[in-house]
Amino acid sequence: MFSKISFRFLELDPFDFVCDHCGKKFLGIANMKRHLRVHMGTEGKDFACPLCHYRGCTTTHVKRHMAHKHLEK
């Protein structure tokens, strides 16, 4: 029913990548690298809001900022 590969996969810890700064665990290295921007200060904030001086670590952060700060009420 199950192959040897399936059993080996179940034995591995899926959270193999751990942040050295805060100890948070991640499923993949790409997720950990994205998280590390949080610890880099302004150096890791590569995404800018086109309407003000806000800078974020990800485009998602900038979009959330724009929705909360610049959305017409």
Does 72 score more than 80 pLDDT?
A: no
Averaged pLDDT, 38-46: 79
DSSP 12: S
pLDDT band, residue 73 (cuts 50/70/90): low
Residue with tokens 């904030």: 45
Q: Assign residue 59 the CATH number of its domain.
A: 3.30.160.60
Domain that holds residue 34: 4-69
pLDDT band, residue 41 (cuts 50/70/90): confident
**Total domain count, the chain:** 1
